[in-house]
Chains A and B, each alone.
Chain A
Amino acid sequence: MAVRITRPGKNSLILETPVMPAAGTAGYSEAYRDLCDLDKLGAFVTNPVTSAPWTPASGTRVVPLEAGVLIHTGLPNPGLSRVLALHRDKWRRLPLPVILHLVLTSAEDARRCMALLEEEDAVDGIELGLNDDLPPAEAARLVHVAVSCSEKPLLVRLPFHASVDMAKAIANAGADGLVACAPPRGTARDAGGRLVAGRIYGPLIKPLALRTAGLIARSAGIPVIGAGGIHSAQDARDYLDAGAVAVQVDSATWITPHLLELIARDLGGLVITQPSGALPDEWHPGMGETERGQRIGGSTTQKDAQNR
């Protein structure tokens, strides 16, 4: 089941499965290697990377909420050059396309980073993270600069409150695809009584983000990837029904890591059905190949599973 997640063209990005982790939820490459079978995913989206090193936020970074969580990490990263040096080889070994999530703050940043990434064969696509407060015209200008500096497929992750007009402006600026949308920002009181601002994750985000994704998918004219609050395969299918071509799973991966693989298997047409004669401890509904491999031994790759 191949899915094209960018505009048609010679550098179009085509995925085997329409499911990938959202930026900031699965690390740079190897964090979930023991908990999730990455080759069942369509692509791997890295944690956010900036041109220069960014330090972690000081103070409270995590505020548990009712059925959700508020997180403010400050997007710590060692800068684009160092990230490439550290992870280039691991990305080359991954059995799926790598999409680097790039946070740009200026046109100069865009030129420098895109020039660097243009030469990088370990990165198959770029997802641009936009500042939530950037006016649509400014965002479109930044995207235009980025597009003009690189031929790599460029996705743009829209802010949570993005309007259809903003999506159209960014599409017209040359973006190859859109991600709708980033987690919303909020403020909550931590256990010490301090107010903390950050991004909010949880199942309640899904109906809100689904509406935005649906509106944008109907009018943007380029492929849209749905993201926000996906916590089940049905949630993911809702995004596809709303017009998205693929989905990004965010914080659900932290709580139940096997869910990412499960959703990918479900949407990718790779659901394991009950093998004939399977004992109760050898199969359960929703079982992934990773788990089945662990229970009955042997390799967990698709090829080996088919041969078995």
Chain B
Amino acid sequence: MKETHALIERIKRVNATHQRLYLTVDPALAQLKAGQSVLARVQESWLPYLRQQWWPVATEKNALIIERPAAETYTPGQIISLIGAVGQPFRFRRMLRNVLLMAWRTEPTPLLMTIAPLLGNRIGVTLVLLGEAAAYQVEHLPPEVEILTGDADMNWPNRVTTVGWADQVLAVVPEHDELDGFGRIWALFNELRAEVPANYLFGVFRPPLPCGVGACQACIVRTRGGPATNWPMVCTDGPALDLTEVATWR
């Protein structure tokens, strides 16, 4: 964990709604893995007050590539304060053939960094974009990724097959109502599968993170059983949490 400064080297528009920032960063941050993020402070003022959680979509030598909404304005040469790495890398099973990535009513950005390494290991990747997420334009993604779109009620073509083929699932939902969103996804998978095993269905949690280091405890997620000490914090133990353990809606 470091507090460092990064330099925006260049900015590239990738589709109608998103741009990518190429940041020159401290070498430690260029080692980020899929699932890890940084907390960014764009300007010296206290507006906005909290740092923004920025999700990398790729790394290069001493560079981090971040995807941000196109509506935000950045300039090459701009200095950004970063705290990171926040969170743990996504963990995948050993025997893996197909991974299902789901974005429900939000952009799939936190999931995208995992695509290249999965494809590199000859693992199939399906990206399902549901509701408002279907508006995310995917031309810049590798052609090997199977893209499916569906409605906000989580209907998409051949969804029984898609879910049946998946060996592991990572899902993102709108930040402001994660428990409701993940509860719906949990209900869907319980409907489509006879059993939802452990280490199969993961929610990628993205609550506002005041500190990002486990100090403020605002991002604790209540899980099944156990004393409070065992409850995970999104900033240190997440962002991906096994939805069979997150018991709020059970």
**Residues in A lying within 8 Å of B, measured CB to CB:** 24-27, 31-32, 34-35, 47, 53-56, 58, 60-69, 71, 73, 76-79, 82, 86, 190-192, 202-203, 231, 251, 253-258
Contacts and interface: CB of A to CB of B under 8 A. Distances in A.
28 contacts: A24-B216, A26-B215, A27-B215, A35-B1, A35-B2, A55-B222, A55-B228, A56-B217, A56-B220, A58-B248, A61-B207, A61-B219, A62-B50, A63-B208, A67-B47, A68-B49, A69-B49, A73-B218, A76-B217, A79-B228, A190-B176, A253-B211, A254-B210, A254-B212, A254-B216, A255-B51, A256-B3, A257-B83
Contacts of A79: 228
A189 B1 CA distance: 32
A64 to B, nearest CB: 5
A67 B45 CA distance: 9
Contacts of A66: 47, 49
A257 B49 contact: no
B146 interface: no
A202 B227 contact: no
Contacts of A192: 176-177
B175 A31 contact: no
Contact of B50 (A32, A58, A69, A190): A69
Given A32-B215, A202-B46, A258-B3, A54 B228 contact: yes
B3 A255 contact: no
Given A35-B83, A67-B49, A82 B222 contact: no
A78 B217 CA distance: 12
A258 B4 CA distance: 10
For the residues of B in contact with A, the DSSP-based class is: loop
A31 B229 contact: no
B218 A71 contact: yes
Interface of B: 1-3, 41, 46-51, 81, 83, 175-177, 207-220, 222, 227-229, 231, 248
Given A67-B46, A67-B47, A78 B83 contact: no
A255 B47 CA distance: 11
Nearest to A82: B229
A226 B182 CA distance: 42
A69 B3 contact: no
**Nearest 7 Cβ contacts at the A-B interface:** A191-B176, A31-B215, A27-B215, A62-B208, A254-B211, A34-B1, A78-B229
B4 to A, nearest CB: 9
B40 to A, nearest CB: 11
Contacts of B46: 67-68, 202-203, 231, 255
B3 to A, nearest CB: 5
A56 B222 contact: yes
A257 B216 contact: no
A77 B49 contact: no
A258 to B, nearest CB: 6
A250 B1 CA distance: 20
A50 B166 CA distance: 44
